[in-house]
Structure 1
Amino acid sequence: MPKAYVFTRYGGPETEAFAELDRPSPGPGQLLVAVRAAGVNPVDWKLRGGLRRPGDTGERVFPAVFGSEVSGVVEQLGDGVTGFAVGDEVFGNTVAGGYAEYALLAAEVTAHKPARLSFADAATLPVAAATAYDGVRQLDLPACATLLITGAGGGVGAAAVQIARNFGLRVVGVASAAKKDFVESLGAVHVPAGPGLPERVRAAAPDGVDAVYDLVGGAVLAEAAGLLADRTKLISAGAAPRTVAELGGSRVARARTAAVLDAVADLVVGGRLNPYVTQRFPLDRADEALCSVEDGHALGKTVIEVAE
């Protein structure tokens, strides 16, 4: 039976386990994909802890497979699916987990993988790069404006810095001191995280910041919000909608379309976006992959390589 990495109830790492599950069958509008690679994201362990994403309905069925993004090869088409064929190389958002040998994808948020895009890089795009792209587009800043990005050293942050730079923006990136060289290599002015953040940002951007793209939440979000004259230019993918709304901002509005996946894939193929896959683990070490992201110290993206 196909292997998967799951959580058996809400909680911490003690709920995680490897399991053998029946091969899923695609429903209407879905694709069954033989997974080649799966991206690892903070949302994965947050869902294990009980997070409910906007649009989630009903109770989660356990065991639940980890993972929200994969790349792979189409094995079977569900009813009503057009534009795809068995054998196509694709990447997209999962319906019910991706740390597995097989995964279901919703056709409407699945894209064809360009031949020049590796499976590992493709698996990082549906969550991190697409979230980064949606947020930068949402802010709609003019060229040469200054954008402050918190959590600039993570998967979404690294992509957001690069996409913003491609849009002609000046970027100030907040990240730990250990990530200084990495953040600067992306084209951002690095500002160390920690107490006294507003003063350091003002020193790095004496003319002020025009917008904030928050990926951290908490005190960092509140401090960053205080740097803005126009709070409508505050967006967050790191805080609850109510929290960011109380500060005058809004959550990142996710498009969740194949067109966005095509756009970020084109950026990678064109050399304008590097997914920075810095860690690769086989499926039988999925626990280590998830732990490396949960501890908050991972640079760029972590990928589980399921098959060659």
Structure 2
Amino acid sequence: MPKAYVFTRYGGPETEALVERDRPVPGPGELLVEVRAAGVNPVDFKQRNGYVRPGESARELPAVLGNEVAGVVAETGPDVTGFAVGDEVFGNPVTGGYAEYTLLPVTVTAHKPAGLSFTDAAALPVAAATAYDGVRQLDLPAGATLVVTGAGGGVGVAAVQIARAFGIRVVGVASAGKKNLVESLGAVHVPSGPGLPGFTEGVRAAAPDGVDAVFDLVGGDVLRAAAELLPDRTKLITAGGKDIVAGLGGAPVVRARNAAVLDEVARLVVDGSLRPHVTGTFPLDRAGEALRTVEEGHATGKIVIEVAR
């Protein structure tokens, strides 16, 4: 039977297990996909801890971890057009990503370009798509200055590169240890973290004429401090502090969650504007290690689980 990495109840890492389960059966508008790679994201452990996205129902347990995959179509469900068995695809699964087989709805599935590896494609549907949605939401002109907090994480790395591809100047706030990474992406690095002075003074020094927008990926006190940099709070967006951003005059990132965005981020990778920056890969039987790397804050860039065939 196919293997999958699940959580059996809500809680910490002790709830996780590698199990065998029946191969999913695609329903209307769904694809059964042989998973070749699955991206790892903070939302994965947050869902294990009990987080439920607005508008969604609590998941039936045990639930497979993971929210982004790349693989090969093994079967198509009723009413599916535009996809066929054998197609290489990537997208957001409805039955978890850390598995040998999963189901993808065609609405959030895109064809994988030949020039894009399965590993890199699996790093796009959550982090890169969130970054793309956020940069588009800000709608900044070329030459504007954007501050990205959490610039060394998966979404931050993508946001910096996408903004640079649109001609936007970027100041990236990240830990001192991520200075080389942030600068390699074309951003001005400003250090932030425990024991360091407030990052806002570093931002003001890096952008003496002021900043036009903030894309926050941290939340909490970082988001509150970053808000003070902006004369126009409508240009404050966050994927890390949705619970407090309205009170600061900003807004959460509005996710499109469609195949068109996936096509766009794949195009940016193929043309060289966006590097997924996968810094670590793990086999499925070490999925727990992969998730710990992200959960404990040790990841720089993206972590991906590769499923052997």
Q: TM-score range by the shorter chain?
A: over 0.9
Aligned to 2:53: 53
Alignment of 1:239-258 (within 5 A): 239-240=241-242, 242-258=243-259
Q: Distance in 2 between matches of 1:245 and 1:297?
A: 30
Other structure's SS at 1:108 match: helix
AA in 2 matched with 1:44: D
Match of 2:180 in 1: 181
Deviation of 1:52 after TM superposition, in Å, equals 1.3
Distance 1:213 1:205 in 2: 15
State the secondary structure of the residue aligned to 2:44: helix
Could you tell me which runs of 5 or more consecutive residues in structure 1 were left unpaired when the two chains were aligned.
Answer: none
Question: What secondary structure does 1:61 align onto?
Answer: coil
How much has 1:76 moved relative to structure 2?
A: 0.8
Which whole-Å deviations, capped at 9, do the CAs of 1:193-247 have from their partners, x for residues lacking one? 134121111111111111000111011000001111000000001122x411111
**Identical pairs, percent:** 75
Q: Structure 2 counterpart of 1:107, which letter?
A: V
Does 1:263 find its partner at 2:267?
no
- SS at the partner of 2:108? strand
Moved over 3 A (4+): none
| CA distance in structure 1 between the partners assigned to 2:31 and 2:210 by the alignment | 47
What is the TM-score of this pair, normalised by structure 2?
0.97
TM-score (norm 1): 0.98
Mapped partners of 1:268, 1:176: distance in 2: 26
Task: Give 2:215's match in structure 1, choosing from 195, 213, 216.
Answer: 213
> What amino acid does structure 2 have at the position aligned with 1:86?
V
Corresponding residue for residue 12 of structure 1: 12
CA distance in 2, matches of 1:55, 1:28: 21
Query: For 1:297 and 1:143, how far apart are their aligned partners in 2?
Result: 33
Q: Corresponding residue for 1:145?
A: 144
| 2:88 is equivalent to residue 89 of structure 1 | yes
Query: Alignment partner of 1:56: what SS?
Result: coil
The SS at the match of 1:273 is coil
The match for 1:202 is: 204
Shift of 1:297: 2.3
The CA deviation string for residues 58-83 of structure 1, in whole angstroms up to 9 with x for no partner, is x3211110000000000111111100
1:123 pairs with 2:122: yes
RMSD over equivalenced CA pairs, Å? 0.9
Quick check: 1:229 aligned with 2:228? no
Aligned to 1:32: 32
Cα displacement string for residues 143-192 of structure 1 (whole angstroms, at most 9, x for unaligned residues): 11100001100111000000000110000001100000000000000011
- Equivalent pairs counted in the alignment come to 306
Return the letter of the residue paired with 1:256: R
